[in-house]
Amino acid sequence: MALLDVKPYDKWYYETVLKPFLPQKFIDCHAHVWLNAFHNEGSMREGSQLWPRMVASENSVEDLNETNRLLFPDNQVISTLYSDAIVTIDREKSNEYVAQKAKENGFPALYLSHPGQSVEELERKVLAHPEFKGLKVYLQFAPAYIPADEIRIYDFLPHEHLALANKHKWVVQLHIARPKRLADPVNYYQLLEIEQQYPDLQLLVAHLGRAYANEDLGDALDFLKHTEKMVWDFTANTNDYVMEKVLEYFGSERFIYGTDFPIFRMKARRTVENGFYINEVPEGEFPKSAIASDSHMREIPFPEAEKITFFIYEQINACRMACERLGLGKQDVEKIFWSNSARIFDVK
């Protein structure tokens, strides 16, 4: 059985809409790989989104490579690997798996850290594998007593870890928290503090600061417009207006492509209603009980659902539209999809 159901409409979409836009080779800065066996018993942290867990119980590196082969048959894809970022994961086993598979495939990787780790342990673990180019940090690991809506960056990315990353000039990929996302002043003030206090690390702001709706931008871009180094990763974001604004403020040199695979291999499109994003999926793609339990999900009946393609195709097309409106050319697109990440992750 094929890993993905690539239908004629999907092939047409790739060949007609995406292939003329994409460079022949590109780097995915944001791909999760893990085996189901690495998960321990336990529950999700309060406030966690349910819909990503519906897509895959595991994503081996072989599945990841097959996903890219099926979705981008005429392109060469290099993936930046890291673990499933969730509290139930056995980080020790998962990080070792990531390092091993990165070495076997010639891919870069990030180490999934925990805020409770000592600096000595964290340094030893990352330096043990040259494939690790830095840290993947995640809000799931903030102390459990902090309500989900009140998590700050420093609750899961402590200053001593930032100082270590700065010392070694590591990459730090950051998924921010809080209901107002990038528009929350706590987030954008702390993003600026990190750039100013730790100038030698490379900060990647994942998902464009989780600004999935126009309203999620707030005043953040104006506040951060004089930054010089932080890079914006548009993984799992399909909002072409948000992409356009980030590109307008920071340029194609600070904008990079990622997939969030396996999540964005699902068939879906995103709409926004009153500042709230909704993933519209073909009827029957997921159990109705799962759809009903998640306010971010909505079923679309056939025949309309036949025009829903892979989520990652929607994401890339949003980038294409933003680039076209700004008059960006092939050199800019090459930076976004290849050379920016090649520089950041030391890919030759």
Question: How does DSSP classify residue 265?
Answer: G
- pLDDT above 90 for 30: yes
Average pLDDT over residues 52-58: 83
Average pLDDT over residues 136-155: 96
Please give the pLDDT value at position 298.
96
Closest CA to 220 of 274, 271, 158, 178: 178
Separation CA 86–CA 113 (nearest Å): 11
- Please say whether the beta carbons of 27 and 338 come within 8 A: yes
Separation CA 182–CA 179 (nearest Å): 9
- What dotted CATH number matches 8-265+312-344? 3.20.20.140
- pLDDT above 60 for 45: no
Average pLDDT over residues 303-324: 98
- pLDDT above 70 for 152: yes
Torsion of CA 34, 38, 40, 44, to 10 degrees: -10
- pLDDT above 90 for 106: yes
Residue 290: pLDDT band by 50, 70, 90 thresholds? confident
> Is cis: bond before 52, omega within 30 of 0?
no
Average pLDDT over residues 242-266: 98
Which residue is associated with the tokens 């780097």? 27
Q: Where are the domains of the chain?
A: 8-265+312-344, 268-308
Residue 78: phi and psi, rounded to 5, are -110, 130
Mean pLDDT, the chain, rounded, equals 96
Which residue is associated with the tokens 């931008």? 217
- pLDDT above 70 for 287: yes
- pLDDT above 90 for 52: no
Convert the pLDDT of each residue in 58-96 to its tens digit: 999 999 999 999 999 999 999 999 999 999 999 999 999
Which residue is associated with the tokens 């926004």? 272
- pLDDT above 80 for 49: no
Percentage of residues in the chain with pLDDT exceeding 90? 91
Closest CA to 134 of 82, 58, 88: 82
- pLDDT above 80 for 44: no
Q: In what order do the strands lie in the sheet with 171-174?
A: 25-32, 76-82, 109-112, 132-137, 171-174, 202-205, 231-233, 255-256
User: How buried is 224 (Cβ within 10 angstroms: 0-12 exposed, 13-18 middle, 19+ buried)?
Assistant: buried
- pLDDT above 80 for 237: yes
30-39, 45-54, 124-133, 183-192: least confident range: 45-54
Lookup: tokens for 56: 């895959």
Closest CA to 132 of 79, 206, 80: 80
